[in-house]
Amino acid sequence: MLTALASEARSATPLAERGWRVQLCGMGPDNARRAAQQLLDAGIRRLLVWGIAGGLDATTKPGDLFIPRSVVNAADRQRFPVTESWHAQLAASVVVPGTEVISRGALLTVAEIVETSAAKQALASDYGALMVDMEAAAVAEVALRASAEFAVVRALADAADVRLPPSVLSALITQHPHRSLMKELLKRPQDLPAVLHLGRSFQHAHRSLTAAALAIAGSRAP
């Protein structure tokens, strides 16, 4: 399992306690590619991308869980199907009362954070994807090259109509986002209402991820 952020890794604790290896890689395709290769070199033959995502489709909402059937790389439009049998196992296992679980459609991978609702709308129109991340396509490419299995579980953190405030954008690219965010808010106190709203959405997403991990850990999905 690969996660970009430490908070995402914490949400996977129920699976780590069951013996799953959780690899914290950092944000972006290059970091994800290196981490995926490290897992393969360690003998792991199933790669699962785990964590939060941004919304592209207006019908999705924070906390929705997404188990896509394919991943699209925005850099070259290459589409990577997930491993069908594993996708089916995960989709059947992730049953979270009160939470929407979407097991269809595509996840789009981009190289940089998508900041504005207008940019999200443009990507949705261009690629037809439901959510966006920065790691999955790189992991899919490594898995395909090694004939390894590949799947994704994401929870929506910022909805399609949400603009990420500058203080959040600056904090996300640091090693300690929460600490950095406090410093950024001292410089930009006008961002506080948007940050609080986004914080609630992120908390909802992480609760969904934790519930998904518990559901998988309690099922027969490997």
Give pLDDT tens digits for 41-68: 999 999 999 999 999 999 999 999 999 9
What is the pTM (predicted TM-score) of this model?
0.88
Higher local confidence (pLDDT), 1 or 178: 1
Angstrom distance (rounded) from CA 76 to CA 50: 23
Residues 52, 125, 48, CA angle at the centre, nearest 5°?
30
Angstrom distance (rounded) from CA 22 to CA 220: 19
> Could you report the per-residue pLDDT of 90-126, keeping only the tens digit for each?
999 999 999 999 999 999 999 988 888 899 999 999 9
Each domain of the chain, given as residue ranges in start order, spans 2-162+203-217
Q: Which residues contact 7 (CB under 8 A, 6 or more apart)?
A: 202, 206
Assign a CATH topology to domain 2-162+203-217: Rossmann fold (3.40.50)
**DSSP H or E run through 220:** none
